[in-house]
Amino acid sequence: MLKKIHIDNFKSLLSLDMETASLNILTGLNSSGKSSVMQALSMAEKIMTGHSIDDMGHVSDLQCRYATDKSNYGITLWNQDGETRKVRFDGSRCESTSFWKEFHFIGADRLGPRVSYHSPKGANPVSVGEHGENVIAYIRHYERDLLTDSRLHEDADGETVYDNVNAWMGEICPGISYCLERRHSSH
């Protein structure tokens, strides 16, 4: 699990230190840096897993305009085991991707709430998707699996993904719960 983040010279963030928990929600005024934090994490994840960041923009657009040292440009991450990874946003690759095996990222797009979410055919249940597009397939795939780590919610009815999704939903959006309707085909 990610425990701490340090971001240098990225977009609106000259320098940011942030402690993290099992669930993190960024709130704040417009232009306070919420999206910059999410985009920095997205870039780090792409670099650490060997994916291209060409679609993220030109370096001059991504560097903080107030930075005096343009060479110090990236993100440092600490996990629960004390491992540290520094990722430079010039496309440098990290040697280990195991650091990210339990990291799930959902983007910071400015999309409104939806009544329902379409689960695309062939959705990858291993990832919730960068924009949350695979979240239903992910929950459906893992709903009966047991959680044994810090993602357990103290008020969950059990230790399954299903129980904990409902507990977290109840905390984030009181009165809202996860219910998966299964469609049965008639023979």
- Tens digits of per-residue pLDDT, 72-82? 788 888 888 88
Q: Are 147 and 159 in contact (CB under 8 A)?
A: yes
Q: Which helix (H) or strand (E) holds 15?
A: strand 13-19
Phi first, then psi: give them for residue 40, nearest 5 degrees: -65, -45
Give the residue with greater pLDDT, 90 vs 113. Answer: 90
Q: Are 34 and 27 in contact (CB under 8 A)?
A: yes
pLDDT of residue 180: 65
pLDDT of residue 178: 75
92's tokens: 């440098």
Position 6 confidence tier, pLDDT thresholds 50, 70, 90: very high
Does 109 score more than 50 pLDDT?
Answer: yes
Give the residue with greater pLDDT, 78 vs 179. Answer: 78
CA angle in degrees (0–180, nearest 5) for 143-147-148 = 170
152's tokens: 């357990």
Q: Which helix (H) or strand (E) holds 46?
A: helix 34-48
Q: What average pLDDT does the chain have?
A: 75
- Tens digits of per-residue pLDDT, 95-106? 444 555 556 666
Position 18 confidence tier, pLDDT thresholds 50, 70, 90: very high
Separation of alpha carbons 69 and 80, rounded Å:
30
What DSSP string runs through 81-120?
A: T--EEEEETTSPPPS--GGGTT------------S-----
Please check whether the domain covering 2-100 is classified as CATH 2.60.40.10: no
How do the domains of the chain map onto residue ranges? 2-100, 111-140, 143-180
Mean pLDDT, range 108-114, rounded to an integer: 52
Does 61 score more than 90 pLDDT?
Answer: no
Looking from the CA of 80 toward its CB, the CA atoms found within 13 Å total 11
pLDDT of residue 95: 46
Does 50 score more than 90 pLDDT?
Answer: no
